């Protein structure tokens, strides 16, 4: 699971009002190099909730993202390459996503988060 | 101004053949240059639906529309219910990966299916983000309005309600009453997730009442067209493409105007425009708008050509063609052309 996906996921448990962001518990993180596309990064930059993204990247061991950003950072190639790396090249292979409100853990195995709910959570 | 036109005009009869020719050409083009998932590279599991006629029809529809998809430049593509991964893998092979700015997300309620999809993607050297979830649960809040292409081969087989969403492979086909149980849950989610330019491709069965699905989507502002219709021994499949269309609102609100004859010269002009028309299906909720051709033969009675002119400048505004029988079980077939 990439941080791009993490940034799009919320806790879906019934009654939870503030299910975003899910806290990452990382047991195993892998890196897979992919080609960079600046246009995609610029498009996604506006859609990313930055704090959740920075916290997520730290939980996965990557600490080179700035705490605060505005759109001027997109001019910097150095920023783009870090953003690209954190967004698309880091994968949470084993671990969990934790609901910020209830503490319920959604397991991530072989890179795949399991968001299925128990009957009493739907 | 509104008029009905005699359907015996040969120009009109040539429309469907012309459209088919285009599709065949697209397919040929696609098969030369564009790869789809290969069966020999597919992973499998006893609890996972294997690629079948419906999967092939959906991928063929994507292939037939491939040049449009490439021009569409989607950033995020999604499959709801990825099963063996045949469709999302084919889409990723067709449209390319991160370097081209395209990313993929696929979901399935069956954990085995998601694992099989991972293996199928790997075997083809492509990647997608996979999530085990019910439709798009957990994604609806943050992914709203961001997805440019959604593909769905839903569980569409009419079954008892209690089989819907059951464990294992049953969830891949059990569709409840009229096979619509899951489809009717997916449609509002797709509407919510699709971006302004978003497209939805969905497999339906005749028993699902696709024309009603199109009407429902029309109320949400979507135009639709059948990309592929295919009958197998067991079922008749339609792959329908939906897209947001601001013109839908125009037609909803339009009033019937008086019918007048139009000079032949103008009619000729209108008919020469036919190759430009795109097919799309729809039906009017307001019966007043559906004017059947009054000419006597059976065929003529099923067709309507409605042409609208600007009330002041008399310039051509829109042409609309409806055929009540062309798609047989589907009811009304129509296309519309709006002049800028």
Least confident of B5-19, B61-75, B123-137: B5-19
Return the CATH number at B93. Answer: 3.40.50.150
Question: Chain A partners of B105 at a C-beta cutoff of 8 Å?
Answer: 5, 8
What pLDDT band is residue B167 in, cutting at 50, 70 and 90? confident
Asked whether the beta carbons of residue B75 and residue A43 sit closer than 8 angstroms, the reply is: yes
pLDDT on residue B338: 54
- Does the residue A64 lie in any domain? yes
- Does the residue A35 lie in any domain? yes
Interface mutation target, options B138, B165, B167, chain A, most CBs of A under 10 Å? B138
Q: Is B43 on the interface with A (CB under 8 A)?
A: no
pLDDT on residue B22: 36
What pLDDT band is residue B245 in, cutting at 50, 70 and 90? confident
User: How far apart, in whole angstroms, are the C-alpha atoms of residue B340 and residue A98?
Assistant: 52
- Does the residue A62 lie in any domain? yes
DSSP characters over A42-106: HHHHTTS-HHHHHHHHHHTT---S-SS--GGGGG-HHHHHHHHIIIIIEEEEEEEEE-TTT--EE
Same domain, B105 and B227: yes
- Does the residue B229 lie in any domain? yes
In 3-state terms chain B splits into helix, strand, coil percentages (rounded to 5) of 40, 25, 35
- Does the residue A84 lie in any domain? yes
pLDDT digits (tens, 9 = 90+) for B168-182: 888 888 899 999 999
Return the CATH number at A18. Answer: 2.20.25.10
Q: What is the span of the domain harbouring residue B176?
A: 34-245
Which residues 13-52 of A are in CB contact (within 8 Å) with B?
19-20, 32, 34-37, 39-40, 43-44, 47, 49
Contact at 8 Å (CB) between B76 and B109?
no
Asked whether the beta carbons of residue B131 and residue A2 sit closer than 8 angstroms, the reply is: no
- Does the residue B275 lie in any domain? yes
- Does the residue A21 lie in any domain? yes
Asked whether the beta carbons of residue B139 and residue A9 sit closer than 8 angstroms, the reply is: yes
- Does the residue B38 lie in any domain? yes
Q: Is the pLDDT of residue B279 over 50?
A: no
Q: Is A116 on the interface with B (CB under 8 A)?
A: yes
Q: Is the pLDDT of residue B243 over 90?
A: yes
Q: Is B127 on the interface with A (CB under 8 A)?
A: yes
Q: Is B75 on the interface with A (CB under 8 A)?
A: yes
Same domain, B96 and B137: yes
Q: Is A102 on the interface with B (CB under 8 A)?
A: no
Mean residue pLDDT across chain B: 75
Same domain, B206 and B308: no
pLDDT on residue B168: 83
pLDDT on residue B30: 43
Average pLDDT along chain A, 122 residues, taken 10 residues at a time: 98 94 98 96 96 98 96 95 98 98 97 95 90
A54 Cα to chain B: minimum distance (Å): 17
Burial B275-292 (b: 16+ CB within 10 A, else e): eebebbbbbbeeeebbbe
- Does the residue B5 lie in any domain? no
Asked whether the beta carbons of residue B138 and residue A9 sit closer than 8 angstroms, the reply is: yes
pLDDT on residue B16: 33
Q: Is B111 on the interface with A (CB under 8 A)?
A: yes
What does the block give as tokens for A69? 């950003």
B137 Cα to chain A: minimum distance (Å): 6
Same domain, B53 and B170: yes
Instruction: Look at A65 and B166; give whichever has higher pLDDT.
Output: A65
Q: Which of A36, A24, A54 is nearest to B103 (CA)?
A: A36
Asked whether the beta carbons of residue A114 and residue B143 sit closer than 8 angstroms, the reply is: no
Number of structural domains chain B divides into: 2
* Percent of all residues in chain B with a pLDDT value above 90, rounded to a whole number: 50
pLDDT on residue B136: 98
Asked whether the beta carbons of residue B118 and residue A112 sit closer than 8 angstroms, the reply is: yes
Q: Is the pLDDT of residue B254 over 60?
A: no
In B, minimum Cα distance to A44 occurs at B75
What pLDDT band is residue B248 in, cutting at 50, 70 and 90? low
Asked whether the beta carbons of residue A35 and residue B137 sit closer than 8 angstroms, the reply is: no
What pLDDT band is residue B232 in, cutting at 50, 70 and 90? confident
pLDDT on residue B125: 95
B163 Cα to chain A: minimum distance (Å): 16
* Percent of all residues in chain B with a pLDDT value above 70, rounded to a whole number: 63
Structural domain ending residue among the three candidates B210, B245, B280: B245
Structural domain ending residue among the three candidates B245, B272, B300: B245
Same domain, B207 and B280: no
Q: What's the average model confidence in pLDDT over B326-331?
A: 38
- Does the residue A116 lie in any domain? no
pLDDT on residue B2: 35
In B, minimum Cα distance to A8 occurs at B142
- Does the residue B28 lie in any domain? no
Q: Is the pLDDT of residue B278 over 90?
A: no
Same domain, B51 and B195: yes
DSSP characters over B201-238: EEEEEGGG-HHHHHHHHHHTTEEEEEEEEEE-SS-EEE
- Does the residue A89 lie in any domain? yes
Number of structural domains chain A divides into: 1
Same domain, B136 and B56: yes
Q: Which ranges in chain B belong to alpha helices (H)?
A: 10-33, 53-64, 66-72, 86-95, 111-123, 181-193, 210-219, 247-253, 264-272, 298-301
Same domain, B299 and B278: yes
pLDDT digits (tens, 9 = 90+) for B78-128: 999 999 999 999 999 999 998 899 999 999 999 999 999 999 999 999 999
Q: What is the span of the domain harbouring residue A71?
A: 3-111
Q: With a threshold of 0.95, tell me whether the complex ipTM lies above it.
A: yes
Question: Chain B partners of A114 at a C-beta cutoff of 8 Å?
Answer: 111, 132-133
| Nearest Cβ partner for B138 among A36, A112, A115 | A115
Interface mutation target, options A30, A85, A115, A119, chain B, most CBs of B under 10 Å? A115
pLDDT on residue B3: 35
Same domain, B149 and B239: yes
What pLDDT band is residue B235 in, cutting at 50, 70 and 90? confident
pLDDT digits (tens, 9 = 90+) for A75-103: 999 999 999 999 999 999 999 999 999 99
Instruction: Look at B28 and A69; give whichever has higher pLDDT.
Output: A69
Same domain, B183 and B70: yes
Structural domain ending residue among the three candidates B245, B278, B311: B245
Same domain, B206 and B80: yes
Q: What's the average model confidence in pLDDT over B263-289?
A: 39
Size of interface A-B (CB pairs under 8 A): 87
- Does the residue B328 lie in any domain? yes
pLDDT on residue A103: 97
Same domain, B237 and B317: no
Q: Is B109 on the interface with A (CB under 8 A)?
A: yes
């Amino acid at each position: 699971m990439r941080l791009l996906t993490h940034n799009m996921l919320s806790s879906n448990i019934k009654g939870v009002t503030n299910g975003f962001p899910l806290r990452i518990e990382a047991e195993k993180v892998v890196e897979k190099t992919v080609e960079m596309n600046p246009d995609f990064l610029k498009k996604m930059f506006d859609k990313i909730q930055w704090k959740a993204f920075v916290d997520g990247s730290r939980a996965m061991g990557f600490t080179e993202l700035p705490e605060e950003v505005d759109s001027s950072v997109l001019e910097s190639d150095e920023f783009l390459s870090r953003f690209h790396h954190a967004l698309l090249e880091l994968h949470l292979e084993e671990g969990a996503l934790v609901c910020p409100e209830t503490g319920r853990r959604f397991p991530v195995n072989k890179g795949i988060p399991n968001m299925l709910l128990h009957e009493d959570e739907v | 101004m509104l008029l009905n036109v005699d359907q015996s005009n040969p120009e009109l009869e040539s429309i469907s053949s012309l459209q088919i020719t285009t599709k065949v050409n697209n397919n040929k083009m696609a098969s030369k240059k564009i790869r789809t998932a290969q069966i020999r590279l597919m992973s499998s599991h006893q609890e996972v639906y294997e690629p079948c006629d419906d999967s092939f029809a959906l991928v063929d529809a994507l292939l037939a529309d491939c040049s449009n998809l490439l021009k569409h430049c989607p950033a995020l593509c999604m499959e709801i219910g990825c099963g063996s991964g045949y469709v999302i893998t084919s889409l990723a092979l067709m449209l390319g990966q991160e370097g081209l700015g395209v990313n993929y997300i696929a979901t399935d309620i069956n954990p085995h299916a998601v694992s099989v999809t991972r293996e199928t993607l790997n075997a083809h050297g492509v990647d997608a983000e996979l999530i085990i979830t019910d439709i798009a649960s957990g994604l609806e809040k943050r992914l709203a309005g961001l997805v440019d292409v959604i593909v769905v081969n839903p569980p569409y087989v009419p079954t008892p309600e209690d089989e819907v969403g059951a464990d294992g492979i049953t969830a891949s086909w059990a569709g409840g009453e009229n096979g619509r149980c899951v489809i009717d849950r997916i449609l509002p989610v797709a509407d919510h997730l699709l971006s302004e330019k978003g497209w939805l491709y969905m497999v339906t069965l005749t028993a699902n009442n696709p024309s009603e699905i199109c009407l429902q989507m029309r109320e949400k502002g979507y135009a639709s067209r059948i990309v592929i219709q295919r009958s197998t021994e067991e079922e008749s499949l339609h792959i329908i493409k939906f897209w947001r269309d601001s013109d839908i609102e125009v037609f909803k609100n339009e009033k019937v105007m008086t019918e007048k004859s139009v000079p032949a010269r103008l009619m000729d002009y209108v008919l020469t425009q036919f190759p430009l028309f795109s097919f799309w299906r729809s039906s009017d909720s307001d019966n007043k708008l559906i004017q059947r051709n009054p000419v006597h033969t059976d065929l003529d009675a099923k067709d309507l050509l409605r042409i609208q002119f600007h009330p002041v400048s008399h310039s051509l505004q829109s042409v609309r063609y409806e055929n009540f029988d062309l798609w047989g079980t589907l009811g009304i077939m129509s296309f519309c052309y709006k002049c800028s």
